[in-house]
Amino acid sequence: MSETTGPPQDPPAEIRVLHVDDDPGIVDLTASFLTRFDDAFSVYTSTDPEAALERIRNERIDCVVSDYEMPGMDGLELLERVTEFDGDVPFILFTGRGSEEIASKAISAGVTDYLQKETGTEQYTVLANRIQNAVEQTHSQRALAESQRRLSRFIDQSPLGTIEYDETFTIVRVNEAATEITGYDAADLVGGTWLPIVPEDGRRHVAEIERKLLADRGGYQSLNDIVRQDGERRLCSWHNQVVTGEDGDIISIFSQFEDVTEEHEQRERLERTNILRSTLFETLPVGVLAEDADRNVLRVNERLLELFDLPGVPADVIGTDCEAFAREVSDMFADPDGFVTRINGLIEEREPTWNDELVLDDGRAFERNYRPIELPDGQGHLWVYYEITERKERERRLEALNETARELMAAESCEEVAEVGVDAAKTIIGLDANVVNLYREGEGLVPVAATDTARELVGPLPTFAEREGIAWRVFERGEAKSIDDVQSDPDVYNPETPIRSEMFVPLDEYGILIAGSPTPDAFDDEDVVLSEILGINIVTALEQVQRNQRIRERERELTRQNARLEEFASVVSHDLRNPLNVAEGRLDLALDECDSEQLEYVADAHDRMAELIDDLLTLARERDTEIELTPVALSSFVRSCWQNVDTGDAAVTVGVEGTVEADETQLRQLFENLLRNAVEHGGETVTVGALDDGFYVEDDGPGIPPDKRDEVFEYGYSTTHGGTGFGLSIVKQCAEAHGWEIGVTDGADGGARFEITGVDVGEE
């Protein structure tokens, strides 16, 4: 079947028609009438069907017109041959032999149209119309098919998640992006509704959107949470559209969406930052200028004149030409021509503009906001100018604090963190006299780092005991505090101190950052906010230091434990095995000298002691042994393990395939212990099967009661006579060494089923 590629196009200007008839006179006459009817027709004739087929193979033919009864090949046979390599080309049977039987055969064979030859010339007009209609219909069908293919490719390749619904809001298709965002496979969603991916608290809202879409037959945008298959909630931006036909009936409904969780969270963080900046900047004065429709100064405030160092008062400027005023001011800017050109461009565009940045020759920075305003006599213009030099400096300081955060996180001790924090408070925030006191139990807030200026002002730095001084009060309350005059505070630590104003920033439970000045009212809100940001970074670094210290201590403890385990293993291996070997040897001699069933009990006890020693050695020596991963084929490996276990009359069914990356020795211990456990507990049939993320070992024995399932992996737990109680402990240890999880549940036939999950099973 031929395939049309590229975008849909209008029908070709030339309609290429092939007329096949064994009568040369008929084909010539038909060609004459068709070309006279419409000069778009190019008629090619053939009296030989085989020659006609060759032309169709090698040339573009828009329509085939064929007689029915021809020697060697009739019209329907010709249609069948044409359909083999081009099933789209219209085929009109134009025959002189008409009958209901032929018409029925033609329709069954799939002809595009059927027309009986008659006397007169009107039949050629009918034929021409039939050809035009057939070609146009075929083109429309090809265009529709191509459109559908393009739409399908667009949906499949779209980076946006796309869900297609039918008119009942049943999902009929989802693309790969949708499955990635929702976490569901396409098979989980197709045929269902949107309910699985919408959290319960959002379903009423989504149902209302559905109702509006069906009622309005239009589009709808929304911002909704989804719940992924793993239960995680994500925020998505949705664009929903109903597609209707010319009759208004719904053809399809599309929902395209994207995960905007991070973007939304970032926006919220930015908004919080902007709120913080707004708190810092809200008191900054701004200069305002309003123009009337003729571009004359309508109103100006005094602050604008102050910003640009212009003489006079606002009344002197009102009514002057704004363009001339702009040229006068432009001399102060680094790019005078650009200043004026930008103003004229904004007025011409008449679009609101915010935060248009400007730089003066003296290094000061400004921002400008513009918006058109409606006035009774036409459209005017409103300009707002404000200096942002201080804001730029604050941004520089914030960037410097971010750099300090990296240095803080590289510190290896609390004292080093304090030293970095003190230096940052001085060089970035400008707190020349500052100190960091860390809390130490039994001592209080102990100074560990300070600037030279702080030491010069205070002398020996004090340690604040519990409930002593302003520092302890702020530390206990956990809120930053700036005190304009500490001499007036009843909790002042040293009434004779040369310090007049102080700022205290608690560092959670770790301590406090203190800054002081010999002048009153030395710290403003900006100092407090920047110090709090620094404090957050210091706390994060202190947390990391303590976390690392705990990790190192844990590593030391594990080293000690491993040493004790190794010592224990040596005792078991040497001090217990040797006497046991001697006892077994003596027992063999005794069995040679006398025949007593009591000696058989002694032999059983020796065997049990040997099993206990082997299991204890396995638990002790392989507890923290590094595993060496190699590919292991599960099916053959399990059968090999089964051969190594005394299974008696029990049978095994292996239904697990694929390979795992595992330590072969430990994996063998895992399987052999599970298989031995299954047989020892009455299992006559043991099954090893596959899970989505692992495998299981199941028996048909009596099973394990639910209230005992948490105990079976404990050391020494056993329910059979003669069991060591260490087998399942070893199994759990082997699983955990690989990062897998193990659990126990009911088997299919009532026995016990041990499931090992978290396993990446690959193909063999």
CATH number, domain with residue 147 = 3.40.50.2300
> Is residue 18 scored above 70 in pLDDT?
yes
- 401 band by pLDDT with thresholds 50, 70 and 90: confident
- For the cut 90, the answer to whether the pLDDT of residue 419 exceeds it is yes
Does residue 630 share a domain with residue 620? no
CATH assignment at residue 720: 3.30.565.10
One domain, residues 281 and 376: yes
Per the structure, the count of domains in the chain is 5
Judged by DSSP in three states, 712 sits in coil
Q: Which has the higher per-residue pLDDT, 146 or 298?
A: 298
Residues 323 and 460 in one domain: no
Measuring CA to CA, which residue among 712, 718, 763, 720 is closest to residue 742?
712
CA dist 45 → 119, 122, 286, 373, 672 (Å): 21, 20, 87, 75, 83
Residue 186 included in any domain:
yes
Per-residue pLDDT averaged across 158-176, rounded? 88
763 within a domain of the structure (yes/no): no
- Is 693 a residue whose pLDDT tops 60? yes
Whether residue 555 lies inside any domain: the answer is yes
Domain boundary among 136, 152, 168: 152
Q: Residue 98: which pLDDT band, with cuts at 50, 70 and 90?
A: low
Give me the amino acid identity at 331.
D
Share of the chain above pLDDT 90, in %: 29
Assign 9 a pLDDT band (cuts: 50, 70, 90): very low
In this structure, which amino acid lies at residue 91?
A: F
pLDDT at 506: 95
Higher-scoring residue by pLDDT: 2, 250: 250
**Whether residue 639 sits in one domain with residue 553:** no
| Three-state secondary structure readout of 660-716 | EEECHHHHHHHHHHHHHHHHHCCCCEEEEEEECCEEEEEECCCCCCHHHCCCCCCCC
Q: Give a yes or no: residue 2 inside a domain.
A: no
pLDDT at 417: 93
Tokens of 44: 């090619």
Give the mean pLDDT of the chain.
83
Q: What is the CATH number of the domain that holds 551?
A: 3.30.450.40
Structure tokens at 627: 């595993």
Q: Are residues 527 and 454 in the same domain?
A: yes
Residue 569, pLDDT score: 57
Is residue 279's pLDDT more than 50?
Answer: no
From 387, 403, 431, the end of a domain falls on 387
Looking at the structure, tell me whether residues 661 and 690 fall in a common domain: yes
User: 659-662 and 685-691: which strand pairing?
Assistant: unpaired
Query: Contact, 255 vs 165, CB < 8 A?
Result: yes
Exposed, middle or buried, 475 (CB in 10 Å: 0-12/13-18/19+)? buried
**Same domain, residue pair 76 and 25:** yes
User: How many other C-beta atoms can be found within 10 angstroms of the C-beta atom of residue 722?
Assistant: 11
> For the segment 294-350, what is each residue's pLDDT rounded down to a tens digit?
999 988 888 888 888 888 888 888 899 998 888 888 888 888 888 999 999 999 998
Asked if 89 and 64 touch (Cβ cutoff 8 Å), the reply is yes
Domain of residue 367, residue span: 270-387
Count of beta carbons in the 10 Å neighbourhood of residue 170: 14
β pairing state of 63-66 and 171-174: unpaired
577 pLDDT band, cuts 50/70/90, is: low
Centre a 10 Å sphere on the Cβ of residue 745 and count the other Cβ atoms it contains.
Answer: 14
In this structure, the answer to whether residues 617 and 646 fall within a common structural domain is no
What percent of the chain is helix, strand and coil (3-state, nearest 5)? Answer: 45, 25, 30
Same domain, 285 and 204: no
Of 150 and 669, which is predicted with more confidence?
Answer: 669
Eight-class DSSP state of 571: I
C-alpha to C-alpha distance for 71 and 404, rounded to whole angstroms: 96
Residue 143 structure tokens: 């265009």
- Gyration radius from the chain CA atoms: 45
Q: Are residues 473 and 542 in the same domain?
A: yes
State residue 269's pLDDT score.
84
Taking residues 679-695, report their average pLDDT: 86
Q: Kindly tell me if the per-residue pLDDT of 723 is higher than 80.
A: no
Alpha helices (runs of H) in 492-576, residue ranges in sequence order = 525-570
Residue 40 lies in a domain: yes
Given a contact cutoff of 8 angstroms between Cβ atoms, the answer to whether 513 and 421 are in contact is yes
Cα-based distances in Å from 456 to 35, 81, 493, 517, 601: 110, 106, 17, 12, 86
Is residue 705 assigned to a domain? yes
* Residue 693 placed within a domain: yes
Rounded distance, CA 350 to CA 293, Å? Answer: 12
Q: Tell whether 456 and 376 lie within a shared domain.
A: no
The CATH number assigned to the domain holding 352 equals 3.30.450.20
Residue 762 lies in a domain: no
Domain boundary among 600, 624, 648: 624
Residue for token pair 């040797």: 578
Q: In this structure, are 638 and 751 located in the same domain? A: yes
| Model confidence band, residue 608 (pLDDT cutoffs 50, 70, 90) | low
- Would you say residue 654 has pLDDT above 80? yes
